[in-house]
């Protein structure tokens, strides 16, 4: 059992040596961990992989060999490792709450894959547990750290688009395999949780506020009973509107557009960007279309470095926990809207 004294000792070790790399314990040998996250941690100058945990110990050994980690074990062994500062949770969505709370109770900061969890009630429990144990909780929407997003925000701030009117975000792709977690209701699968959460978050980021109401229509797969098509209308202040679309079983689309009073902006690859991919941004002013290219960046690495620096310096400059709750509230509104077949005011959800 980890005592309050041990928690405080671990926290002070980080505070007293802000240049020390944050040691990350990984829970879950997922596809995204292998494809993008672990390689980014390995490249980071602010973090390092301390231990990798899996229910399949052999799988955790394989991941360790590939990414140069020398410690592996069960989930419990990861959160009980006193050398670990931060737990990265890459488990099925339905398991996020349990392991976030367990990690927090061991005095570990938590970085959780999106979506943070499967209900607003669950998200509140996670935030409360982290607050009670004086640790941070962070939801891993990596795309917001890509420099192209800053370029978009700069254009908005500099009035290139004029007054903002509409946002349209699409994240759709071919059908996952029937064995995928995305097609498993009990594990929190479905397009709303997995892919629609990205453009929902992007609309909140672009408008710099929370929506007033949401109307959501889900199309369910009759065999797996998970949503495979999502259509959402989000109403924001001053008549601003966001249209969100996500589909399993389509041509790959990962884009958003913003309509302003002066111009329209299109970000061609908005959410999931391979680290070696150059992206492009289009500005349409009716008279001409300007294309701006953005050189490749690893947005996973940028996200990891930013959060680890914040932990190392014991700074709370960003309200990650409040942001996580706001995102969870919108997703909860979408579920209620579909279930009750009506627009839902976000203020209804508490």
Dump pLDDT digits (tens) for 86-128: 999 999 999 999 999 999 999 999 999 999 999 999 999 999 9
> DSSP secondary structure string, 119-188?
SHHHHHHHHHHHHHTT--EEE--GGGGSHHHHHHHHHHHTTSS-SEEEEEEEEEBSPPPTTSGGG-GGGT
Which of 216, 220, 247, 255 lies closest to 232, judged by CA? Answer: 216
Mean pLDDT on 345-350: 96
Mean pLDDT on 272-301: 96
Q: What is the pLDDT of residues 130-185, one digit of tens each?
A: 999 999 999 999 999 999 999 999 999 999 999 999 999 999 999 999 999 999 99
Beta partners for 259?
166, 264
- pLDDT surpassing 50 at residue 339: yes
pTM of structure: 0.93
202-216: burial string, b at 16+ Cβ within 10 Å, e else: bbbbbbeebbebbbb
User: Residue 17 — pLDDT band, cuts 50, 70, 90?
Assistant: low
Write down all domains in the chain, each with its CATH number in brackets.
4-142 (3.40.50.720), 147-296+329-348 (3.30.360.10)
And the tokens for 159?
A: 């009035």
- pLDDT surpassing 80 at residue 5: no
Q: Are 142 and 303 in contact (CB under 8 A)?
A: yes
């Amino acid at each position: 059992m980890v005592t309050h004294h041990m928690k405080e000792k671990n926290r002070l070790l980080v505070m007293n040596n802000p240049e020390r790399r944050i040691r990350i314990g990984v829970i879950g040998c997922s596809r995204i961990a292998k494809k993008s996250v672990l390689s980014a941690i390995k490249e980071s100058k602010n973090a390092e992989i301390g231990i990798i945990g899996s229910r399949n110990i052999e799988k955790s050994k394989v991941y360790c060999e590939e990414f140069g980690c020398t410690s592996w074990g069960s989930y419990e062994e990861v959160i009980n490792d006193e050398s670990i500062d931060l737990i990265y949770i890459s488990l099925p969505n339905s398991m996020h709450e349990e392991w976030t709370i367990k990690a927090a109770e061991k005095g570990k900061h938590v970085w959780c894959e999106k979506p943070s969890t499967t209900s607003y009630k669950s998200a509140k429990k996670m935030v409360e547990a982290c607050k009670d144990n004086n640790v941070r909780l962070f939801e891993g929407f990596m795309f917001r750290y890509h420099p192209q997003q800053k370029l978009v925000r700069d254009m908005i701030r500099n009035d290139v688009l004029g007054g903002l009117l509409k946002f349209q975000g699409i994240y759709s792709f071919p059908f996952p395999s029937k064995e995928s977690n995305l097609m498993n209701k009990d594990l929190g699968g479905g397009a709303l949780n997995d892919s629609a959460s990205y453009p929902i978050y992007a609309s909140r980021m672009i408008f710099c506020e929370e929506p007033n109401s949401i109307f959501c229509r889900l199309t369910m797969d009759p065999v797996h009973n998970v949503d495979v098509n999502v259509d959402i209308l989000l109403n924001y202040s001053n008549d601003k509107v966001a249209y969100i679309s996500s589909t399993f079983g389509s041509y790959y689309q990962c884009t958003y557009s913003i309509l302003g009073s002066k111009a329209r902006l299109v970000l061609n690859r908005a959410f999931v960007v391979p680290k070696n991919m150059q992206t492009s941004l289009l500005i349409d002013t009716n008279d001409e279309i300007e294309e701006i290219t953005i050189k490749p960046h690893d947005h996973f690495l940028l996200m990891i470095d930013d959060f680890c620096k914040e932990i190392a310096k014991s700074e709370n400059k960003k309200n990650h926990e409040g942001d996580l709750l706001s995102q969870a509230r919108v997703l909860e509104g979408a579920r209620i809207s579909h279930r009750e077949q009506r627009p839902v005011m976000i203020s209804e959800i508490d």
